[in-house]
Each structure stands twice: as structure tokens, then as C-alpha cells.
A = this chain, B = another copy of it.
Amino acid sequence: MTPGFSFEVIATLGNARAGILHTPHGDIETPVFMPVGTAGTVKAMTADELRAPPLDAKIILGNTYHLYLRPGLEVIGGAGGLHRFAAWDRPILTDSGGFQVFSLAGINEIDDDGVTFRSHIDGSKHRLTPEISMEIQRVLGSDIAMVFDQCPPGDADEAIHELALARTTAWAKRCRECPRADGQAVFGIVQGGIDTARRLRHMAEITALDFDGYALGGLAVGENLADTYRILDEVAHQLPADRPRYLMGVGTPADLERGIAAGIDMFDCVMPTRNARNGYLFTSGARVNIPNNANRLDFGPIDPECPCATCRTHSRAYLRHLYLAKEILYARLATLHNLTFYARHVRRLRDRILAGPH
């Protein structure tokens, strides 16, 4: 592995693992959920709030596509990298930009060398290749860079899948040769849709390249949940045992539990932050839709079992009012709660692995 990085599995329970990923910016207990900091900020949150227990986020994710388009590399590079630009001193993982180029950007042209696309912000034309993606991630200075891959839609046909797989392997090789920031690790990405044999074949190609960790990409991109779970169950535990395993862009609390049981160590998803802003709050009981009239005169917390500052301080009635009045404070309080819920959910699952079989 890249110097400064190491991964140790300290307990297992079936395929599930509890571990520690050591990085130059600090240790990360796994399984871990990584809050998404799309544009240089986990939306509505300060770094201090992310670091404060009980949330205590050990690593966040930054989006290469978004940061490249705005504010751009001259600005983030000028600041000395994303950690300094965003005043975040713990680890950062950056994606490669590939997923956003295929899902967010305007009409794109894919060829064997890379992708040409139009910015969703101003329509301007840009190009990403394995080398450009790695160069952006080098300037961002993330602790973990992801290889540039092609993620086909869930319902893509056989030929598209095969072409995407061949490209993803070729691009992974090119990413492997690119200059990196000091101490920057690189994770490979396994594609292959919902065909187990294709997944395993691609896994063999990617793991042969010896990356610092491995991700499953192209899941939860439109396929049935049963297929997602089947691939997880059949593939995750076959990824190299001595490297962290990352399930990209997933998912619900139940998805995380299923992923951890299958042997996944790292997750990211916009669900806790985006749902918070849209009024959906996770609890140890039923999910709360904050604008519901039932909350109008409910002076209890979102979740009496939650130790976050929102639940310790504010009522459902107050949050409902802030939501309906479109107050900025609502997004802050709701995001803090949902991220705390996710952090505690994953920590509880880790503790269960550490406790061992009953």
C-alpha cells in the first residue's frame, strides 16, 4: 500500500469486518460512513460540527467533477489543496468525476481516451480522461483518489457492459501510472453490473493491478434492490481481504447493514444530507416527515434516543416551523441529526462485529 496507509482487520463476524484504516490525516474505524462534501462543504455543516462527537466524522468525500468546474483548480490549488481550502484536517476521499459526467453533465462523447461533456452549470465544454481526473485529484490533494471509470446504466445491454469493462480496466492501468499528491492512496473500481460472473471477472482484472483499496461501482444505479444485494453477497467478500472495500453511493440504513454483512468497509451517500434538507429525518423508530401536521404540536425531540445537539435542544414542532418557513437553520439542524443517525448506525454495527457471535 501507499506509504502512510495501512489497513488492519481487527474482528470479523461472518463476512463482516471491523477494522482500522490508518492514513496520514488520522485513523478511520471501519465500517465507516463518509458524509458527502460535494462542493467543498458537507452541505449546511461546518468542519467543527462534523468533527464534534457524537457525529465525529473521520473522513468526508469531495466530488472531483463539481470542484473542477467550481471553484476550479486555480482556486483550490492556490489555497494549497482541498483540506486547506475547506479547513478540513481529517481524511478526504475524492471520486474520479466519472459518475457525475455520466449522470449530471450535458451530452457527452465517450471514446477510448476519455469523455467530453458540457458543464451542468454553464454549458461550457470540458474533457475528462484518466490522466486529467488523476491530475485534478492530485491538485485537490485528497487522501484517497478513485480511478476514472465508466459506469454504464443499470439496464445497459451486454455489449455496452463489455465495452465499459474493457475501458474501465484500461483506464485503471493508466490512472495507476499517473503522478499523485504526496501520500495519496488510489482505489480501483470494480464494475460489471448485476452479472456475478462478469463482476468477478472484472474484479480479477482490477485487483491484479494492486490498488490501496477496492470499490464496487455501478450498484444502486437503477437495478432491483434484490440484484444489488445478490451482487453484494456474492462479490464483496471475494475482494482482497487485506484492503478496504468501498461500496460507492449507497445507501439507506438497511443497505449499509446489508453491505457491512457482505464485507464492505466504507460507504458514502447523499441520502442523510439530502433527505434532511427535504424534510425526511431518520430515527430509531419510524422515519419522520417533518412537515407532517402530526409534528405541529409535538414538543418532543426527533428521536429521544439520539444524542445530537438538535435532538437535545429542539422539538419537532420547532423544526417543522423552521422547515415550513424555509429557514436556513432548519437545514443545519436536520443535517446534523441525519448524519449523526448514520454515524451511530454504522458504529453500532461495528460494535456488533467486535462483540462477536452470541
Contacts and interface: CB of A to CB of B under 8 A. Distances in A.
17 contacts: A39-B321, A40-B318, A40-B321, A44-B328, A45-B329, A46-B332, A47-B313, A71-B320, A71-B321, A71-B324, A75-B321, A78-B317, A79-B317, A85-B315, A328-B328, A328-B331, A328-B332
A71 B79 CA distance: 44
Interface of A is mostly: helix
Interface in A319-358: 320-322, 324-325, 327-329, 331-333
Given A45-B329, A70-B324, A318 B87 contact: yes
B317 A40 contact: no
A295 to B, nearest CB: 10
Interface string A35-52: 000011101111110000
A248 interface: no
Q: How large is the interface on A (under 10, 10 to 19, 20 to 34, 35 or more residues)?
A: 35 or more
Contact of A43 (B39, B328, B333): B328
A332 B86 CA distance: 14
Interface in A168-219: none
A332 to B, nearest CB: 7
Q: Which 3 A-B pairs have the closest CB atoms?
A: A71-B321, A44-B328, A41-B329
Contacts of A40: 318, 321-322, 325, 327
A315 B46 contact: no
A314 interface: yes
Interface in A47-92: 47-48, 70-71, 74-75, 78-79, 85-87
A75 B324 CA distance: 13
Contacts of A41: 322, 327, 329
A296 interface: yes
B79 A299 contact: yes
A309 B49 CA distance: 13
A163 interface: no
Contacts of A317: 71, 75, 78-79, 85
A322 B79 CA distance: 14
Among A48, A74, A78, residue most surrounded by chain B Cβ atoms (within 10 Å): A78
A327 B79 contact: no
A212 to B, nearest CB: 29
Contacts of A313: 47, 87
A26 B86 CA distance: 37
A39 B327 contact: yes
A297 interface: yes
